[in-house]
Amino acid sequence: MDAGEELGLLPPFPSGDTHIPIDLNKVRAIDVHVHAEVSCHDPEDPVMGKFFDAASAYFKAPRERPKMPEIIELYRETNIAFCLFTVDAESGMGAKRVSNYEVAELANRNDDICIPFASIDPHKGKYGAREALDLIENHGVRGFKFHGIAQNAHPADPVGYPIYEVINEYKLPAIFHTGHSGMGTGMRGGGGLRLKYGEPMLVDDVAVDFPDMKIILAHPSWPWVDQSLSMALHKDNVFIDLSGWSPKYFPEAVIRYANTQLKHKVLFGSDFPLIHPDKWIAAAKEVGFRDEVMPGIMKDNAARVLGLA
């Protein structure tokens, strides 16, 4: 029995839409890590507002969050394709999420540059799996984002497995936040967020149990950098995105492995709006990435993971 049948949702999974609107020859990079933090229709959630205040101070980034059409226009102007997603942390943070359907609608209207990802709180279990299935089948979603720290969820807690089963069935990628979190940094008690759920090795069971799900470990994973590098070496379905840090602050091991054994496993990600993609790219040119590996980091590796190549 496949995931769709187990949920009572028939017919079983089809082969999926193979339409690929993004022309890889026309974009100079693919940014796999871009946040849609505010809705076009609803006011900013006051709970999230407090976290945005702290994150902006930590990253020295503008406080005002761009709306999705502004993000799309910026990436079109910079000629960079990108994955766009929100973070559903309704259980862990008590903050109203930006709708996955709003993200998907805008992305699909701009599918020459934008790739829709979704985020579903793992605590939503089978009901969340129903949403995941609908988003994939009927709204063109091409991947998912999980943030154990914000969601107050161990990545391998069985409560989230029904959602993973859907993603695995479709062989789609899922981004898992790893390492330190700018969200909550500097707030009283870290805003109630627990950094322990950002340890990369907590995702290892997921990689084993769902071998057809392409797992992207987000960020350089400090202070557990070596765990991510080990997992990407060990598991064929584990990759690393380099978002959330300026490359000038990368640990030496990240650059060394990206230049050698993991040159096909490392992906460009910015963490926009907290880091502008052009600033990330400019810094990456100065830190020692080899010329021959940069095309893979900037575009080719992501194209394979996302099923665009």
Q: Can you tell me the distance from the alpha carbon of 151 to that of 163, in angstroms, rounded to the nearest whole number?
A: 14
- Cβ atoms of residues 307 and 22 within 8 Å: no
Residue-wise pLDDT for 232-255, tens only, equals 999 999 999 999 999 999 999 999
Note the pTM of the prediction, 2 decimals.
0.92
Domains held by the chain: number: 1
Instruction: Evaluate whether residue 171 is within a structural domain.
Output: yes
User: Does residue 38 form part of some domain?
Assistant: yes
Is residue 155 included in any domain, yes or no?
yes
Structural domain boundaries, residue 180: 3-9+22-305
16 found inside a domain: no
Residue 17 lies in a domain: no
Strand, helix or coil at 85?
strand
pLDDT in tens, 31-84: 999 999 899 988 888 888 888 888 888 788 887 889 999 999 999 999 999 999
Phi, psi of 177 (to 5 degrees): -60, 140
Q: What is the CATH number of the domain that holds 72?
A: 3.20.20.140
Q: Looking at the domain assignment, is residue 32 inside a domain?
A: yes
The angle, 0 to 180 degrees and rounded to 10, between the axes of the packed helices 100-109 and 125-139 is 10
Residue 204 lies in a domain: yes
pLDDT tens for the chain, 309 residues long, are 455 555 555 344 444 445 568 999 999 999 999 999 899 988 888 888 888 888 888 788 887 889 999 999 999 999 999 999 999 999 999 999 999 999 999 999 999 999 999 999 999 999 999 999 999 999 999 999 999 999 999 999 999 999 999 999 999 999 999 999 988 888 899 999 999 999 999 999 999 999 999 999 999 999 999 999 999 999 999 999 999 999 999 999 999 999 999 999 999 999 999 999 999 999 999 999 999 999 999 999 999 999 999
Quick one: tokens of 251? 């640990």
Residue type, 264: H
State the Cα torsion 247-261-215-148 to the nearest 10°.
-50
Q: Is residue 271 part of a domain?
A: yes
